[in-house]
C-alpha cells in the first residue's frame, strides 16, 4: 500500500485493493461477502479465537478444547491398524501423549524423528492409547531458546472458498495499521453505555481483531466467544442503530408527504357492524379507534396490526376501509395469494354490497376484457374497494383516488413493495394511508427492529365462544388410525382438512403428494366427498373447490400448504398435517388456525415421519403445548432465527453482520431512543451511519 493513496482518506474511501496481496481477483472474492473497503474489512469480525498464548503441561491436558503443548518425540512408528497411521509419542516433564497422522509424507516422517522437540497445537481426544492429537499443527523448536508463545488470541474469520485464515489475518493486520485517529469517523454523539466505560470504535476494532493477552482470562474469553464482550456489543449497538435509522428515515420520508385527512362523520361503519351478527371484541374496538385517529390526520398512517390467527383482523380492515370510502377515497386491499384475495373479495362483497359500495377485483389471473373492465373501474372511481394480489402494484393499475392501502399478511410483502405504494398516489391527494395486517405474531425484538418505521396495534383477544384446539402428535405409521378419525368426524357432520407438506421447495412435488393422498383417501373413505386443492391448479378451479368446501359439498379437503393463510370455514374442526416435522412453527400455527373457528371442539393431528430430528421434535412439542401465537413466534425465533421467520431478505435483518437479535435484543430500547436523538439533533450523522452498516445503504438515501 502506498501511504500517499491512503493519506487524508477515511477508511470507507479506501478500496481493499490498497492492501498488499489484494488484487482484483481477491477483491472479487471479498465482494461476495459485501466487503469493498478497508472499513468493511474491519467490520468483518472474527467468528472465534484460538488461544495459543500458553503451553499446557501434557500431564494437565483434558480431552476436548484446543491447546498448545511442547515436548520431545520419544517414539515414532507406523501403526497398521484398520488404517495405517504414523504415531509419535511426545513427552514433557509431566506426561506423554500420542500424535497421530493418517496422512503423512516421507519428509514429514523424517521431520518427526525421535529426539526432535515440537510445539503442537490441536485438540486432545480420547484414543486407544489415552489422549491423542489427530493431525495437530506442529513445528520443531530449538530446545535452547524456544520461540515466545503468542501474546494475542488468534482470530478465526468467517471465510469462504479461496480465502484462507492466513490471508484474512494478513488483511486485517494491514487494515488495523491504517486505522489511525480520524480515519474512522465516530458518528455516535456519545458512546453507548454497555456496562463498561464508553468504548470508541477504534478501540473496539483493534481489540476484537487482535485481542491482547489479558483477553485470555476466562471470563472475557467466554464473553468474546458468545459475542457478549462489551466491545462486540459496542459494534452490535451501532449496527442496530443504523438499521433503526434506515427505517425511521423511510418513515420520515413517507410522512413528509401529505395524506388525505379522513375526518368526515362515518355513517357506514355502524350499519356495517349492526349487520355482522356479532359484537366486536374489546381488542378489535381499541384497534379500530387507533386506526380511526390515524386516518383523520393529514399525514400518512403507517400502522401494523398484529393479531393471532382468528382474532378477527378482516373486520377491522373493513371498518378502516369504510372510513376511507365514506370520505370519498378508494381503498386497495392486497392479499398474498389468489385464494386469500378471493376470500376477501367474497367477504367484502357480502358485507359491503348491501351498503351500496362497489368493489373491483384484480389478480394476475384476471386477463383480457375482464381485466380492462376492472382497470377502468379503478381508474374512473366506479369501484371504491379494490381487492387483489401483488397485481395491484403494477404500472398499468391507476387509481383515481387511492386513500388507503390495506396489506394483509405483511410478512410476504417487503419494504420495497411498501415503498412502491407511494407511486400509486396521485400528487393532489398525497401518500395513501397504510394498514398492514399480520397473522404471524412478531416477537417484540423483531417488531422493534424490523418494523421500527411502523406504529403497532395488537388484537390480543380472540372472539368469544372459541374452544381451544386439541393437538396430538402421531407417527406416520399409525396413518390408518388417523383415517378413522377423519371418518368419524365427517360422519358426525363435521369437515376436515388433510394437508400434505412440501418435500422440497417444490410445489409440483407437493402437488403430487397431495394427489396421491387424495386418491388413497378416496379409496379408504368411499362414503366421503373428498376434494383436492394445490398450487398447480387453475385459479378458478381452486376457488370453486374452496367454495364447495365452504358450502359443505365436500367433507374433506386435501390440500398443500396453499391454504396456509386466512382461509375461513367454521364447520371444519379437524386438521391433519402430514409430515408436520417439515414445517416451521409459524406455518404450523397458521395451518392449525384454519380450525377452531366454530364452537365445536377442534382437533389438530400432526403426523410425522420417524425418526424425528431434534428440531422437529422441539417444534412439534411446542405445538402440542401452546396455542398462543406470540409464544410460538418467540420459540420460532429461537429455533430458526429472524431471517426465516419473516421470510426476509426483504427486511434486511438477515444481513446483520455483527448484531444478533436474540442475543442483543436488550440493546434495542436504548437503540431506539438514540435513533430518535440522532434524527433530531444530529441529522447529518444519519446517512453516514446507514451507509456504513447496510449493504444497500445507498438505496435508503435515495428514497
Which position's Cβ is nearest ligand ADP? 312
Nearest CB to ligand ADP, comparing residues 463 and 539: 463
161-169, 196-204, 274-282, 523-531 -> range binding ligand ADP (CB under 6 A)? 274-282
Number of residues that bind Mg ion (CB under 5 A): 1
Contacts with ligand ADP in 449-488 (CB under 6 A)?
A: 463
With helix as H, strand as E and coil as C, how does 550-569 read?
A: HCCCCCEEEECHHHCCCCCC
For the CB of residue 284, give the shortest distance to ligand ADP in the complex, in Å: 6
Closest by CA to 455, choosing from 696, 293, 654, is: 293
For residue 435, list its beta bridge partners. Answer: 303, 406
The most distant pair of C-alpha atoms in the chain lies apart, rounded to whole Å, by: 99
Q: How many CA atoms lie within 13 A of 4 on its CB side?
A: 0
Nearest CB to ligand ADP, comparing residues 44 and 589: 589
Nearest CB to Mg ion, comparing residues 300 and 566: 566
Nearest CB to ligand ADP, comparing residues 247 and 565: 565
For the CB of residue 442, give the shortest distance to Mg ion in the complex, in Å: 15
The site partner of 278 among Mg ion, ligand ADP, none (C-beta below 5 to 8 Å per kind) is ligand ADP
Q: How many CA atoms lie within 13 A of 352 on its CB side?
A: 29
- Cα gap 120→486, rounded to integer Å: 65
Nearest CB to ligand ADP, comparing residues 459 and 661: 459
**C-alpha dihedral (181, 185, 190, 196), degrees to nearest 10:** -60
Q: What is the DSSP letter of 15?
A: B
Q: Which string of DSSP letters, residue by residue, matches 517-553? A: HHHHHHHH-TTS-EEEE-TTS-HHHHHHHHHHHHTTS
Q: How many residues does this entry show for the chain? A: 703
Per the CB < 8 A criterion, the answer to whether 329 and 262 are in contact is yes
Per the CB < 8 A criterion, the answer to whether 176 and 205 are in contact is yes
Q: Determine which residue in the list 260, 310, 616, 665 makes contact with ligand ADP, applying CB under 6 A.
A: 310
Between the alpha carbon of residue 24 and those of residues 148, 157, 162, 177, the distances in Å are 36, 21, 14, 22
Number of residues that bind ligand ADP (CB under 6 A): 18
230-238, 262-270, 306-314, 334-342 -> range binding ligand ADP (CB under 6 A)? 306-314
Contacts with ligand ADP in 417-446 (CB under 6 A)?
A: 439
- Cα gap 112→86, rounded to integer Å: 10
Cα-based angle 60, 212, 233 (whole degrees, multiple of 5): 110
Distance from chain centroid for Cα 665: 14
Q: Determine which residue in the list 6, 39, 246, 314 makes contact with ligand ADP, applying CB under 6 A.
A: 314
633 lines the binding site for ligand ADP (CB under 6 A): no
Q: Which residue has the cell 388484537?
A: 459
Nearest CB to ligand ADP, comparing residues 307 and 336: 307
Q: Rg (Cα) of the chain, in Å, rounded?
A: 31
568 lines the binding site for ligand ADP (CB under 6 A): yes
Q: Determine which residue in the list 241, 315, 513, 543 makes contact with ligand ADP, applying CB under 6 A.
A: 315
665 lines the binding site for Mg ion (CB under 5 A): no
Nearest CB to ligand ADP, comparing residues 458 and 486: 458
566 lines the binding site for Mg ion (CB under 5 A): yes
Q: Determine which residue in the list 46, 136, 312, 535 makes contact with ligand ADP, applying CB under 6 A.
A: 312
Which position's Cβ is nearest Mg ion? 566
The site partner of 528 among Mg ion, ligand ADP, none (C-beta below 5 to 8 Å per kind) is none
Per the CB < 8 A criterion, the answer to whether 11 and 183 are in contact is yes
Q: Determine which residue in the list 116, 246, 269, 311 makes contact with ligand ADP, applying CB under 6 A.
A: 311
List helix spans (H) across 257-367: 268-276, 282-296, 313-326, 338-352
Q: Determine which residue in the list 243, 313, 433, 534 makes contact with ligand ADP, applying CB under 6 A.
A: 313
C-alpha cell, 99: 500424535
Nearest CB to ligand ADP, comparing residues 463 and 688: 463
310-318, 496-504, 544-552, 630-638 -> range binding ligand ADP (CB under 6 A)? 310-318
Burial class (CB in 10 A: 0-12, 13-18, 19+), 71: buried
Nearest CB to Mg ion, comparing residues 179 and 543: 543
Per the CB < 8 A criterion, the answer to whether 26 and 87 are in contact is no
The site partner of 284 among ligand ADP, Mg ion, none (C-beta below 5 to 8 Å per kind) is ligand ADP
The site partner of 311 among Mg ion, ligand ADP, none (C-beta below 5 to 8 Å per kind) is ligand ADP
Q: Which residue has the cell 477483491?
A: 27
Nearest CB to ligand ADP, comparing residues 280 and 379: 280
For the CB of residue 606, give the shortest distance to ligand ADP in the complex, in Å: 20
Nearest CB to ligand ADP, comparing residues 73 and 317: 317
For the CB of residue 623, give the shortest distance to ligand ADP in the complex, in Å: 18
The site partner of 136 among Mg ion, ligand ADP, none (C-beta below 5 to 8 Å per kind) is none
For the CB of residue 385, give the shortest distance to ligand ADP in the complex, in Å: 16
Nearest CB to ligand ADP, comparing residues 278 and 682: 278
Q: What is the DSSP letter of 329?
A: -
Nearest CB to Mg ion, comparing residues 15 and 346: 346
With helix as H, strand as E and coil as C, how does 60-110 read?
A: HCCCCCEEEEEEEEEEEEEEECCCEEEEEEEEECCEEEEEEECCCCHHHHH
Q: What is the DSSP letter of 112?
A: T
Contacts with ligand ADP in 644-683 (CB under 6 A)?
A: none
Q: How many CA atoms lie within 13 A of 480 on its CB side?
A: 1
The site partner of 434 among ligand ADP, Mg ion, none (C-beta below 5 to 8 Å per kind) is none
The site partner of 280 among Mg ion, ligand ADP, none (C-beta below 5 to 8 Å per kind) is ligand ADP
For the CB of residue 137, give the shortest distance to ligand ADP in the complex, in Å: 58
29-37, 182-190, 277-285, 640-648 -> range binding ligand ADP (CB under 6 A)? 277-285
Q: What burial letters (b/e) apply to 298-324, b meaning 16+ CB within 10 Å?
A: ebbbbbbbbbbbbbbbbbbbbbbbbbb
For the CB of residue 409, give the shortest distance to ligand ADP in the complex, in Å: 9
**Paired sense of beta strands 137-140 and 130-134, if any:** unpaired
629 lines the binding site for Mg ion (CB under 5 A): no
Distance from chain centroid for Cα 201: 28
206-214, 244-252, 450-458, 559-567 -> range binding Mg ion (CB under 5 A)? 559-567
Q: How many CA atoms lie within 13 A of 269 on its CB side?
A: 22
Q: Interface with ligand ADP by CB under 6 A: which residues?
A: 278-281, 284, 307, 309-315, 439, 463, 566, 568, 597
Amino acid at each position: 500500500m502506498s501511504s500517499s493513496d491512503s493519506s487524508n482518506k477515511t477508511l470507507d474511501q479506501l478500496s481493499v485493493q490498497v492492501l498488499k496481496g489484494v488484487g482484483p481477483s481477491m477483491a472479487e472474492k471479498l465482494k461476495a461477502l459485501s466487503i469493498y473497503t478497508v472499513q468493511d474489512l474491519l467490520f468483518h469480525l472474527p467468528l472465534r479465537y484460538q488461544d495459543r498464548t500458553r503451553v499446557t503441561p501434557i500431564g494437565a491436558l483434558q480431552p476436548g478444547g484446543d491447546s498448545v503443548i511442547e515436548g520431545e518425540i520419544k517414539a515414532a512408528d507406523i501403526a497398521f491398524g484398520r488404517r495405517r497411521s504414523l504415531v509419535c509419542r511426545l513427552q514433557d516433564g509431566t506426561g506423554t501423549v500420542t500424535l497421530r497422522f493418517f496422512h503423512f509424507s516421507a519428509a514429514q516422517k523424517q521431520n518427526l524423528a525421535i529426539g526432535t522437540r515440537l510445539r503442537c497445537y490441536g485438540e486432545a481426544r480420547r484414543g486407544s492409547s489415552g489422549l491423542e492429537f489427530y493431525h495437530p499443527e506442529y513445528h520443531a523448536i530449538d530446545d535452547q531458546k524456544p520461540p515466545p508463545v503468542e501474546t494475542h488470541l488468534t482470530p478465526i474469520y468467517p471465510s469462504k472458498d479461496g480465502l484462507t485464515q492466513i490471508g484474512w489475518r494478513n488483511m486485517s493486520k494491514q487494515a488495523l495499521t491504517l486505522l489511525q485517529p480520524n480515519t474512522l469517523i465516530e458518528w455516535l454523539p456519545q458512546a453507548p453505555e454497555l456496562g463498561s466505560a464508553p468504548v470508541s470504535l477504534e478501540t473496539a476494532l483493534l481489540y476484537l481483531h487482535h485481542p491482547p493477552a489479558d483477553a485470555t482470562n476466562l471470563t472475557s474469553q467466554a464473553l468474546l466467544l458468545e459475542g457478549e464482550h462489551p466491545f462486540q456489543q459496542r459494534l452490535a449497538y451501532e449496527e442496530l442503530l443504523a438499521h433503526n435509522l434506515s427505517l425511521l428515515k423511510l418513515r420520515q420520508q413517507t410522512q413528509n408527504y401529505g395524506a388525505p385527512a379522513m375526518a368526515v362523520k362515518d355513517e357506514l361503519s355502524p350499519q356495517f357492524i349492526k349487520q355482522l351478527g356479532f359484537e366486536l371484541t374489546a381488542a378489535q374496538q381499541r384497534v379500530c379507534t387507533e386506526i380511526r385517529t390515524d386516518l383523520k390526520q393529514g399525514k400518512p398512517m403507517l400502522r401494523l396490526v398484529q393479531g393471532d390467527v382468528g382474532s378477527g383482523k378482516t373486520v377491522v380492515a373493513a371498518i378502516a376501509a369504510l372510513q376511507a370510502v365514506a370520505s370519498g377515497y378508494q381503498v386497495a386491499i392486497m392479499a398474498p395469494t389468489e385464494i386469500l384475495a378471493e376470500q376477501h373479495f367474497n367477504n367484502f362483497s357480502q358485507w359491503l354490497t348491501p351498503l351500496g359500495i362497489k368493489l373491483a377485483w384484480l389478480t394476475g389471473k384476471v386477463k383480457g376484457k375482464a381485466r380492462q373492465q376492472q382497470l377502468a373501474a379503478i381508474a374512473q372511481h366506479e369501484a371504491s374497494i379494490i381487492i387483489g394480489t401483488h397485481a395491484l402494484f403494477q404500472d398499468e393499475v391507476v387509481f383515481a383516488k387511492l386513500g388507503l392501502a390495506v396489506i394483509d399478511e405483511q410478512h410476504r410483502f417487503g419494504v420495497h413493495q411498501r415503498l412502491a405504494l407511494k407511486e400509486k398516489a396521485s400528487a393532489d391527494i398525497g401518500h395513501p394511508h397504510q394498514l398492514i395486517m399480520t397473522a404471524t405474531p412478531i416477537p417484540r425484538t423483531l417488531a422493534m427492529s424490523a418494523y421500527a418505521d411502523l406504529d403497532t396495534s395488537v388484537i390480543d383477544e380472540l372472539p368469544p365462544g372459541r374452544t381451544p384446539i386439541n393437538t396430538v402428535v402421531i407417527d406416520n405409521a399409525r396413518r390408518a388410525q388417523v383415517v378413522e378419525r377423519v371418518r368419524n368426524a365427517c360422519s358426525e357432520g363435521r369437515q376436515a382438512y388433510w394437508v400434505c407438506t412440501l418435500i422440497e421447495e417444490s410445489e409440483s412435488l407437493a402437488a403430487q403428494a397431495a394427489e396421491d393422498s387424495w386418491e388413497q383417501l378416496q379409496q379408504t373413505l368411499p362414503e366421503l366427498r373428498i376434494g383436492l386443492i394445490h398450487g398447480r391448479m387453475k385459479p378458478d378451479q381452486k376457488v370453486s373447490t374452496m367454495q364447495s368446501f365452504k358450502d359443505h359439498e365436500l367433507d374433506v379437503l386435501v390440500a398443500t400448504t396453499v391454504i396456509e393463510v386466512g382461509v375461513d370455514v367454521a364447520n371444519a374442526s379437524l386438521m391433519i398435517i402430514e409430515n408436520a416435522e417439515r414445517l416451521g412453527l409459524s406455518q404450523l400455527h397458521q395451518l392449525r388456525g384454519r380450525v377452531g373457528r366454530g364452537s365445536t371442539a377442534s382437533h389438530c393431528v400432526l403426523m410425522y415421519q420417524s425418526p424425528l430430528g431434534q428440531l422437529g421434535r422441539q417444534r412439534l412439542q411446542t405445538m402440542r403445548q401452546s396455542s398462543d401465537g406470540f409464544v410460538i413466534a418467540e420459540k420460532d425465533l429461537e429455533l430458526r432465527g429472524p431471517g426465516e421467520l419473516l421470510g426476509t431478505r426483504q427486511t434486511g435483518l438477515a444481513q446483520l453482520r455483527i448484531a444478533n437479535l436474540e442475543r442483543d435484543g436488550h440493546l434495542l430500547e436504548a437503540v431506539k431512543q438514540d435513533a430518535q436523538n440522532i434524527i433530531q439533533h444530529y441529522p447529518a450523522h444519519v446517512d453516514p451511519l446507514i451507509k456504513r452498516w447496510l449493504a444497500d445503504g445507498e438505496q435508503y438515501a435515495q428514497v
